[in-house]
């Protein structure tokens, strides 16, 4: 058995763990990094990167079939599903070196390719290594939640960890789960030539603003995605190439392939948390606002905490750890400014409070400023006019923003900045946007907030008349 002592031990080489390891090592700390599976974690290998690459393939196919409005004849795209997967693999390969073991060893990090398990509150065993650390960061992420559906153990199914290795295009893809992963994969596959049926036990995209979600769902249905909401799955049956989903109301949905996209679960099984005195919650590891666990020497970040499970949250958490564990400075994680986006077409993005949440919390003090895409000249030029942006405002400051439409994931950045820095709507309105851009929507919605105050205010009109009459 090999024994090591270190300043920082990071368990998990996903987005958050890599950020902590790189930052801590470059700032002079001694760092050991454990990873029992793939460097780069879920995002690089099974999540954000491959899904967006496959979405890009679907977008290219859709563009060929829907170009007549631009004066270019529609064509029937010749889709090679295996080649689309080659594109996915190539994108991953281009990013892999940044997350590689070799790069982190060059930064001075000791990388051990084993899973870690606590044996005492300050010691972790990984294979034949025992590591004692002053500070330990758990960054083990999450994995697909496979619900206990009767019959599921008898049929072959895909998750996000396997579907990007699938080389044969599904003739008819059945998806259990109507959240972001399910909807992104549904649209990508229908555009690549598959039939797609989505079965969701509640509301599809149910965590998002209903008005905005309905725009996305209408678009997907218009492309041929068959979406069934409030359809609780009672049973799965069949054989490879012929799968059936039976719902509680007796409906039967038949397809060739099955994808489970029913949520995520924190990766804590291998950690032996009890040995370290670390408390759990229903969804992950319990932490305080500084991301410390019940063991004061141990932090937990990213998906394993069980809150907002996004790559960018893990990266944000890493910054909190660097400040707290390396410099001993107070640092607390907040969620009000954390955005998220679903990369369907149109995209759907949110930061802060939805309209319903804002009205529940702030009542009549909430004002909702809104601007529609069809009033944006660049959106008109590109025929991307479906969608809107609305901003929830309290006492002149935004408390949330909902965007559905072209490049919503890009537009939401401005509102994350505004919430992170407690900006006022006037500061957004003061921004000058190049014309014509989609980004001008952010300025225009701020203008929509001020328009009633300027154009419907009688005092303003009296002042203007006075100036025009009496001021030379």
Q: What is the DSSP letter of 292?
A: B
Sign of CA dihedral 268, 270, 271, 273: positive
Identify whether residues 444 and 402 lie together within a single domain. yes
Does 23 map to a domain? Answer: yes
For residue 327, name the pLDDT band (cuts at 50, 70, 90): confident
Does 354 map to a domain? Answer: yes
For residue 136, name the pLDDT band (cuts at 50, 70, 90): very high
**Is the predicted pLDDT of residue 134 greater than 80, yes or no?**
yes
Does 211 map to a domain? Answer: yes
Q: What is the DSSP string of 178-232?
A: -SHHHHHHHHHHHHTT-EEEEE-SS-TTTTS-HHHHHHHHHHHHHTT-EEE-S--
Identify whether residues 9 and 127 lie together within a single domain. yes
Does 137 map to a domain? Answer: yes
Residue 263: its pLDDT value, please?
94
CATH of the domain at 318: 3.50.50.60
Identify whether residues 159 and 226 lie together within a single domain. yes
Q: Where in the sequence is the domain holding 296, given as residue range(s)?
A: 2-39+100-144+265-327
Does 74 map to a domain? Answer: no
Does 234 map to a domain? Answer: yes
pLDDT tens profile 149-197: 999 999 999 999 999 999 999 999 999 999 999 999 999 999 999 999 9
Identify whether residues 116 and 219 lie together within a single domain. no
Q: Give the β-pairing of 226-228 and 339-342.
A: unpaired
Identify whether residues 311 and 255 lie together within a single domain. no
Identify whether residues 351 and 418 lie together within a single domain. yes
Q: What is the pTM of this model?
A: 0.94
pLDDT tens profile 414-467: 999 999 999 999 999 999 999 999 999 999 999 999 877 655 666 666 766 766
What is the tally of structural domains in the chain? 3
Q: What is the mean pLDDT of the segment spanning 264-280?
A: 97
């Amino acid at each position: 058995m090999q024994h090591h002592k270190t300043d920082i031990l990071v368990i998990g080489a996903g987005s958050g763990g890599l950020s902590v390891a790189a930052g801590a090592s470059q700032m002079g700390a001694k760092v050991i990094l454990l990873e029992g599976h793939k460097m780069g974690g879920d995002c690089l290998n099974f999540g954000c990167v491959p899904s967006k690459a496959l979405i890009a393939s679907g977008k290219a196919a859709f563009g060929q079939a829907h170009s007549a409005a631009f004066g270019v004849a529609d064509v029937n795209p010749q889709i090679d599903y295996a080649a689309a997967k080659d594109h996915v693999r190539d994108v991953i390969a281009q990013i892999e070196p940044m997350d590689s073991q070799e790069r982190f060893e060059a930064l001075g990090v000791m990388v051990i390719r084993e899973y870690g398990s606590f044996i005492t509150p300050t010691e972790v065993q990984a294979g034949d290594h025992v590591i004692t650390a002053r500070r330990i960061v758990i960054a083990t992420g999450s994995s697909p939640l496979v619900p206990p559906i009767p019959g599921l153990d008898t049929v072959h199914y895909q998750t996000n960890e396997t579907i990007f290795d699938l080389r044969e295009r599904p003739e008819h893809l059945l998806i259990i789960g109507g959240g972001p992963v399910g909807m992104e994969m549904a649209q990508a596959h229908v555009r690549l030539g598959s039939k797609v049926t989505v079965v969701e036990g509640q509301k599809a995209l149910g965590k998002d603003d209903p008005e905005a979600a309905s725009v996305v769902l209408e678009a997907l249905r218009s492309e041929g995605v068959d979406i069934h909401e409030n359809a609780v799955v009672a049973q799965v049956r069949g054989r490879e190439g012929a799968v059936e989903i039976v719902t509680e109301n007796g409906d039967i949905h038949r397809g060739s392939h099955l994808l489970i996209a029913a949520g995520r679960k924190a990766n804590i099984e291998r950690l032996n948390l009890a040995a370290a005195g670390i408390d759990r919650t229903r969804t992950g590891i319990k932490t305080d606002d500084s991301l410390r666990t019940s063991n004061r020497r141990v932090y937990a970040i990213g998906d394993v905490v069980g809150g907002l499970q996004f790559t960018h949250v893990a990266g944000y958490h890493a910054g909190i750890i660097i400040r707290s564990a390396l410099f001993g400075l107070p640092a607390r994680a907040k969620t009000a400014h954390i955005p998220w986006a679903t990369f369907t077409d149109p995209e759907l993005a949110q930061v802060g409070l939805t309209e319903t949440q804002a009205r529940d919390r702030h009542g009549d003090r909430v004002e909702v400023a809104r601007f529609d895409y069809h009033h944006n000249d660049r959106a008109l030029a590109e025929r991307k006019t479906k969608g809107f942006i609305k901003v929830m405002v309290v006492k002149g400051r935004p408390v949330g923003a909902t965007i559905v439409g072209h490049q919503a994931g890009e537009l939401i950045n401005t509102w994350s900045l505004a919430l992170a820095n407690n900006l006022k709507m006037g500061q957004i309105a003061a921004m000058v946007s190049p014309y014509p851009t989609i980004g001008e929507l952010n300025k225009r919605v701020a203008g929509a907030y001020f328009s009633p105050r300027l154009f419907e205010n009688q005092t303003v009109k009296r002042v203007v008349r006075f100036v025009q009459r009496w001021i030379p």
